[in-house]
Structure 1
Amino acid sequence: MEQADLLISSLEKSGDFGNKLAAAALAHSGKEVAFDRDYYKIGYPGGDIPSNKGMAADVLVRCYRELDMDLQVLVHEDMTENFRAYPQLWDATGPDTNIDHRRVPNLQRFFERKGETLDPSRNAADYKPGDIVVWSLANAETHIGIVVPGPGDRAGEPWVVHNMGAGVKWENVLFDYTRQRHFRFPAENSK
């Protein structure tokens, strides 16, 4: 974890939003978080399920919150105005502040609408710390993670922080799954 701490310090000092998001993600890596996709009744705004539980989307929500961006609020506000623009996969008749921001397809649509959409290429140079990647997994599930630098002498490589069911991990798996989408949020030109 010492390598992560050094990298976190360096990323936080840069002042760049993407680097700060990557630092927040690295700070979450290695935390004991039991995979849990259950529905919870949570507060709004700022609601969260227990911090020792979660899934891939919860990693993003928690990291953005550390940078004063509440995806629960942002997704809810956009869904309230544009509900039919979002995937209609859950028999919902309207937005739900308890779960909408915890669903990868909803986050993907939000980033498509409000972020910068980039090519989900196989070129490592196309990925910057803080980028968001959505994968399509072999089981037809969508998955999401945050791009971060690799450890030590691999810091120039794009790794990811994500939770695929075994806790929040810092791993070199960016190209291991089918990359479906690649985003920056907020978009670089909106700063």
Structure 2
Amino acid sequence: MAKRPKSHHLGTIEYIGPRPQAKKPQRKPNFLGGWVVLLIAAAAAWHFGKPLIPLVRAQQAVASVESADVLINQLAGSVNFGERLAAAALQRSKVPSVYDKSYYKIAYPNGDVPTTPDNRSRGMAEDLIVRSYRFLGIDLQVLVHEDISKNFSSYPRLWDSREPDSNIDHRRVQNLQRFFQRANAEVFAGPDKTVTRNATDFKPGDVVVWMLASGDLHTGIVVPGPGERHDENWVVHDLGSGPKWEVFPDYQIQGHYRYTGPALEVAGR
């Protein structure tokens, strides 16, 4: 067999591996788009987080049991009803409580929801209002029930109620609002009957109703702040973790009331 003549050219080399890819043109980073996203996120955080700022400030303030005792001693002996009511509300802030909005069959008059097995108080924001007034000898359970019994159609029909119920009527914020309105205890900032957050419009012992971010109504009692913050409007309320003494939250106020008891005749309206 004839020999193949030697070639001076290299033979074909087989390449094993991935097929080379053509390089794609690189895009320049869009720094403007990143800033827009950050600005939108910051705006959303500010919008939804703003109402929580006062609560954070409250926790940083000195709202201790000791500072509550000092303020209670200053207010409890006052001739002013509102200051004594503020002292009663502050006293409630020292009582361990379990949040409970359940329906209970309770005594009448002077009825209250039962305590827990370990003897802790139960209740919600409305119970704090009722107990604070009761500490001063004013039983809202009786007053609300008597007025609803006489003027049932004047009260909200939000719970399919067909008749007055002394077990629960005074434990509903809308009923308390209506009772205070009928008792001519509503406080307005001006002749146009508006409710504002102006500090000069509030006094210790005022009952305030505001709307939470969830859309639910909530209530508390206005009290002074602790120590050097004495001139600020704080509030005692129960939002689920027991009565708390905190800076007034930055929510929309739905009602402002200054009720001093049965001596204020109930208006027929």
TM-score, normalized by length of structure 1? 0.95
Aligned to 1:164: 239
Aligned to 1:145: 220
Deviation for aligned residue 1:186: 2.1
Unmatched tracts of structure 2, length 5 or more? 1-64, 116-120, 189-194
Partner amino acid for 1:85?
S
- Residue 100 (1) aligns with residue 174 (2): no
Contact 1:115–1:186, Cα closer than 8 Å, also in 2: no
Partner amino acid for 2:156?
P
CA deviation vs aligned residue, 1:85-119 (integer Å, no higher than 9, x gap): 10001111110000000001100111111142113
- Residue 69 (1) aligns with residue 138 (2): yes
- Which aligned pairs between 1:73-152 and structure 2 lie closer than 5 A? 73-119=142-188, 120-152=195-227
Give the whole-Å Cα distance in 1 for the aligned partners of 2:70 and 2:184.
29
**The structure with more strand, counted as a fraction of residues:** 1
Give the whole-Å Cα distance in 1 for the aligned partners of 2:105 and 2:112.
9
Aligned to 2:78: 14
Give the whole-Å Cα distance in 1 for the aligned partners of 2:170 and 2:252.
22
Deviation for aligned residue 1:190: 4.3
CA deviation vs aligned residue, 1:39-78 (integer Å, no higher than 9, x gap): 0000000000024110000001001001000000000000
Partner amino acid for 1:89?
L
SS at match of 2:215: coil
- Aligned-residue CA RMSD in angstroms? 1.5
Identity of aligned residues (%): 56
Deviation for aligned residue 1:140: 1.6
Partner amino acid for 2:132?
C
With over 3 angstroms needed to count, the CA separation of the structure-2 counterparts of 1:85 and 1:123, relative to structure 1, is same
Give the whole-Å Cα distance in 2 for the aligned partners of 1:39 and 1:9.
35
Contact 2:183–2:264, Cα closer than 8 Å, also in 1: no
Deviation for aligned residue 1:31: 2.2
Q: Pick the structure with greater CA Rg.
A: 2
Contact 1:60–1:145, Cα closer than 8 Å, also in 2: yes
Unmatched tracts of structure 1, length 5 or more? none
Contact 1:30–1:167, Cα closer than 8 Å, also in 2: no
Q: Which has the larger displacement, 159-168 or 178-187? A: 178-187
Give the whole-Å Cα distance in 2 for the aligned partners of 1:190 and 1:38.
31
Deviation for aligned residue 1:184: 0.2
Q: Which has the larger displacement, 68-77 or 117-126? A: 117-126
248, 256, 259: which one aligns with 1:173: 248
- Residue 56 (1) aligns with residue 125 (2): yes
- Residue 34 (1) aligns with residue 109 (2): no
Deviation for aligned residue 1:173: 2.1
TM-score, normalized by length of structure 2? 0.68
